Amino acid sequence: MILTVTLNTALDITYRVPSLRPHSSHRITEVVERPGGKGINVARVLAAIGHEVTVTGFAGGATGRTVREGLTATQGVTDALVQVAGATRRTIAVVDATTGDTTQLNEPGPVVSPAEWNAFTAAYEDLVRSASAVALCGSLPPGVPVGAYGQLVRVARGASVPVLLDTSGEPLRRGVAARPDIVKPNADELAELTGSHEPGQATRDARRRGAHAVVASLGAEGLLALTAGGRWRAAPPETVRGNPTGAGDSAVAGLLSGLVEQLPWPDRLARAVALSAATVRAPVAGEFDARTYAELRDRVRVTELAGPAQTV
């Protein structure tokens, strides 16, 4: 079982409009609702490619009930969310059908009390013991300690369970110091962490801060990976156009499934890039297009880069 953690779960709502124009009314042509938050997106993709997944985090209020009902209907995904008094947030994506562009509106999430955080950490410690790998994903809701991911990384490592961290800002900085097995920032998150806007230097700096492996998402240009065994660049064979929402989460699913299956790094990266590109092409934000994935997974370009990996 793979465990994904989404501390700031959400009900993802996607509106499609003919054309998005500021300061005007819009007629919505399509509405899609589904459980969301980065770790839940990761879980959905993992289940779709054949892995059993348990999701944990927080859920509360009427929105939280809707999220849990959606998880119950998702084959291969087990709900282990912890109940809180506050209401689960909503995220709203407005897709402009003319341009394909997406405008995202994200609520902050419920305020989590110290007692609720303690209940979650106790549940997490139990779940980790039966996990083959853990993904810690996304933002922190109000009330959760800023060092939460560092704490959760240490619990997983104490249980000898590999852990991937995908967050940003100060939670990423503190989480990296706890030495996760993999961190997967995007280019902006990596620059904020290290102060360097040059991806090669930034991945080396991030690894020196404690991460065993750094996989940087470079958008349409693919992934840059620095591990103890080498450095690789993985890119799709052609530019894929569409909605990039959730593409990074699909990349996490590719990396985590490859880790559990003990694939070599080039194969993990190829899977991650193919899933990410297939997500961009999917009609609903955060899903992946199975046909695109099948077309791309053997055509991703993975290049080993010269020079030794930076040791920690």
Hey, what are 27's tokens?
């007629």
What's the rounded Cα separation, in Å, for the pair 140 and 152?
13
Report the C-alpha gap between 224 and 211 in whole angstroms.
14
Report the alpha-carbon distance of residue 164 to residue 127 in Å, rounded.
16
Nearest to 183 by CA among 137, 221, 244: 137
CA triple 81-210-251, angle to 5 deg: 50
Helix (H) / strand (E) element for 56: namely strand 53-59
Nearest-Å Rg of the Cα atoms of the chain is 19
Read off the tokens for 200.
Answer: 């090669």
Among the options 12, 181, 205, 249, which is catalytic? Answer: 249
Give catalytic status of residue 249 as yes or no.
yes
Find, among 255, 68, 297, the residue nearest to 163 by Cα. 255
Q: Which two tokens stand for residue 197?
A: 């806007």
Residue type, 144: V
User: Residue 279, SS3?
Assistant: helix
Q: What angle do CA 135, 56, 269 make, to 5 degrees?
A: 20
Q: Report phi then psi at 228, rounded to 5.
A: -65, -25
Structure-token match 């997500």, residue found: 279
Residue 252 · residue 288 · CB < 8 Å:
no
Helix (H) or strand (E) holding 53: strand 53-59
Q: CB-based burial of residue 64 (10 Å sphere; 0-12 exposed, 13-18 middle, 19+ buried)? A: buried
Other C-beta atoms closer than 10 Å to the C-beta of 32 total 16
Catalytic residues: 249
